[in-house]
Amino acid sequence: MTQSIAGTTPRHRTISPLLASVGIWLAAGLVMLLLPQVFSSGASLTKLCLMGIMVIFALAYNMLLGQTGMLSFGHAVYYGLGGFFAAHAMMIISGEKLAVPLAAVPLVGALTGLVFGVIFGAASTRRAGTAFAMISLGIVELVAALALVMTGFFGGEQGVSFNRTKALALFGWKFGPQIQVYYLIAGWCFVSMIAMYFITRTPFGRMCLAVRENPERAAFVGYSTQGIRFIAFCLSGAFAGIAGALAAINFEIASNSMLGAQQSGTVLLMAYIGGAGHFAGPIVGAVLITLLQSSLSDITGAWQLYFGIMFILVVMFVPGGLAGLITLHGPIARAGLLPRLAVPYAKALVPGLLLVGGGALIIELTYKLTVERAKTTVLNLGLLQLDAKTALPWIAAVILLAAGAWTLRRLGPGIAEAVAATRAEALARVGA
């Protein structure tokens, strides 16, 4: 978890790091360019737009959590304010008929995030750790409550809505169709990703890591930890502001829910589940959770419960997040030892599926019996129809769960050992 962001390229590689880096970014850009061609339905496009926005927001958040070790419960303040100021900017642009293209509006968000980052950061970054977390919580509640009072600017419960097509049209792009908005978001997402990545490579980025790992030593070296925290905070606010402005453009509304504690919680979940210790972690988290949010909620009404359980499991057992899991296998893959793990993983797969299946079945049956009782108590699993009012499905679910848990508990240590052994061997082979 510690060395990964600074991660070095193994010496035996022949391709220059710079070239490889450019290659990766080109590939990422190409993927973002082509995604809507592959997934062209309206629903997919909606999801892709949300993903782009959340990727920026989660990465911005991770500049605090992952890179500088500051846990914030209120980062939606900068996201939300960025959205509101962008919305007002749009209204001024369309009202005064200013020659400003829509693509420039996220700059307003960035500036807003930066300014408020400076204001609130000056007060909150004087402290670290839990105190900082508490202040961030206080600020988000304060801003959310104030926003409801200052209805002139924030539009009260209604929010501020505007029409995004009223800005200056460049090359005939009026941003009416969602696909054009996607490319706007993707463009900003690409640029922000690169910018944030290169910030981690600068001396300042390295100092952030030092502040996270050992603030005392960082201070002895001669750096002001408070100053580093403050700069990281402001930069993070600026990128969050970009994300907020893009969200406002996407929905054509900025509303109170954008700057509340809930939005702050969501981005925390994304960054952490994805893996706060890696640059790419929040990207994985943002993509995955946005997908889950929209897809899982169509399948089950209890989706948020799965979500919460997933988060807790990650905190308890995989503190490195999903990206942490992937990097764990990095050396193994490089050494070509992945096939060796096939057997242990296959062994874990069966009880794992039993466990997940049994647990999910219990949740779904309960849900049918409580929330959806008035509709139907029959759980439709395609081929199988289970009535939650009968005992059989419940017994089956408990057996599945118990069998899965028992087997996994027996096999678990062995599998973990196999992974550790393989990794050790791989490391020895690659010589990293």
Partner 1 sequence: MIRMIARRTVFGVALAGLTALAMPVRAQDTIKIAYIDPLSGGGATVGEHGVHHFQFLVDKVNAAGGVLGGKKLELITYDNKSSPQETLLQAQKAIDSGAKFITQGNGSNVALALTDFVAKHNERNPDKQVLFLNYAAVDPALTNAKCNYWHFRWDADADIKMQALTSFMKTRPEIKKVYVIGQDYSFGQAVRVSARSMLKEKRPDIEFVGDELHPVLKVTDFSPYIAKIKASGADSVITGNWAQDLALLLKAAADAGLQANWYTYYAGGAGGPTSVRQTGLEHRVFQISEWHSNVEGAEMQNLNADFRKKYSGSGWWYLRAKNEMDMLVKAIEQAKSVDAAKVAAALEDMRFKDAIGAEVWMRKDDHQLFQDLYISSFGPGVAVDEEGTGWGWKTVAKVDAKDTITKTVCKMDRPS
Partner 2 sequence: MLELVVFSTLNGLQYGVLLFLLASGLTLIFSMMGVLNFAHASFYMLGAYLGYQITRTIGYWPGLLIAPLAVGLLGAGVERFCLRLVHRHGHVAELLFTFGLAFVIEEVVVVLWGRVPLDYRVPALLDFPAFTLWDTTYPAYKLFMLVISVAIFVALLLLLTRTRVGLIIQASLTHPNMVAMLGHNVPRIFMMVFGAGAALAGLAGAIAGPALVTQPSMAALLGPILFVVVVFGGLGSLAGAFIASLIIGLVQTFAIAVNVSLNDVFLPLGISLPAPAVLGDLWNATLAQLGPVIPYLLLVLMLVFRPTGLMGTRET
Residues found near partner 2 in the complex (CB under 8 A): 69, 71, 73, 123-124, 126-127, 129-131, 133-135, 137-139, 141-142, 145-146, 148-153, 261, 265, 268, 272, 302, 304-305, 307-309, 311-312, 315-316, 319, 363, 366-367, 370-371
Least distance between partner 1 and beta carbon 226 (Å): 28
Least distance between partner 1 and beta carbon 91 (Å): 13
Compare residues 36 and 74 and give the one whose CB is closer to partner 2. Answer: 74
For 319, the token pair is: 């503190």
CB neighbours (10 Å) of residue 218?
Answer: 19
**What count of Cα atoms within 13 Å lies in the side-chain half-sphere of residue 193?**
24
Compare residues 31 and 145 and give the one whose CB is closer to partner 2. Answer: 145
Least distance between partner 1 and beta carbon 59 (Å): 12
Tell me the backbone φ, ψ of residue 173, rounded to 5 degrees. -85, 115
Which of partner 1, partner 2, none does residue 172 bind to, with CB < 5 to 8 Å depending on kind? none
The H or E element spanning position 287 is: helix 281-299
Least distance between partner 1 and beta carbon 312 (Å): 21
Q: Coil, helix or strand for 432?
A: coil
Which of partner 1, partner 2, none does residue 123 bind to, with CB < 5 to 8 Å depending on kind? partner 2
Q: Coil, helix or strand for 160?
A: strand
Which of partner 1, partner 2, none does residue 72 bind to, with CB < 5 to 8 Å depending on kind? none
297, 290, 296: which is closest to 250 by C-alpha? 290
For 73, the token pair is: 């419960």
Compare residues 383 and 392 and give the one whose CB is closer to partner 1. Answer: 383
Alpha helices (H) in 318-375, listed in sequence order: 321-328, 330-334, 342-369
Classify residue 292 as exposed, middle or buried by CB count within 10 Å of its CB (0-12, 13-18, 19+).
middle
Which of partner 1, partner 2, none does residue 139 bind to, with CB < 5 to 8 Å depending on kind? partner 2
Compare residues 78 and 279 and give the one whose CB is closer to partner 1. Answer: 279
- Which residue's structure tokens are 């202040």? 135
Q: Coil, helix or strand for 374?
A: coil
55, 320, 315, 45: which is closest to 188 by C-alpha? 55
- CA-only gyration radius of the chain, Å: 24
Least distance between partner 2 and beta carbon 211 (Å): 14
Compare residues 160 and 186 and give the one whose CB is closer to partner 2. Answer: 160
Q: Summarize as ranges the residues that interact with partner 1 (CB under 8 A).
A: 3-5, 7-9, 20-21, 24, 27-28, 31, 35, 38-39, 41-44, 46-48, 148, 156-159, 161, 163, 165, 176-177, 251-258, 278-281, 283-284, 287-288, 291, 294-295, 298, 323, 326-327, 330, 333-334, 374-375
Least distance between partner 2 and beta carbon 73 (Å): 8
Compare residues 150 and 291 and give the one whose CB is closer to partner 2. Answer: 150
Which of partner 2, partner 1, none does residue 9 bind to, with CB < 5 to 8 Å depending on kind? partner 1
Least distance between partner 2 and beta carbon 235 (Å): 21
Compare residues 9 and 390 and give the one whose CB is closer to partner 1. Answer: 9
Least distance between partner 2 and beta carbon 414 (Å): 20
What span, in angstroms and rounded, lies between the C-alpha atoms of 75 and 265? Answer: 9
Which of partner 1, partner 2, none does residue 202 bind to, with CB < 5 to 8 Å depending on kind? none
Compare residues 24 and 398 and give the one whose CB is closer to partner 1. Answer: 24
Which of partner 1, partner 2, none does residue 196 bind to, with CB < 5 to 8 Å depending on kind? none
Beta-bridge partner residues of 254: 160
Let me know how long the chain is: 432
Least distance between partner 1 and beta carbon 298 (Å): 8
DSSP assignment of 214-255 equals -HHHHHHHT--HHHHHHHHHHHHHHHHHHHHHHHHHHHTEE-
- With a CB cutoff of 8 Å and minimum separation 6, the contacts of 154 are 84, 147, 148, 160, 256
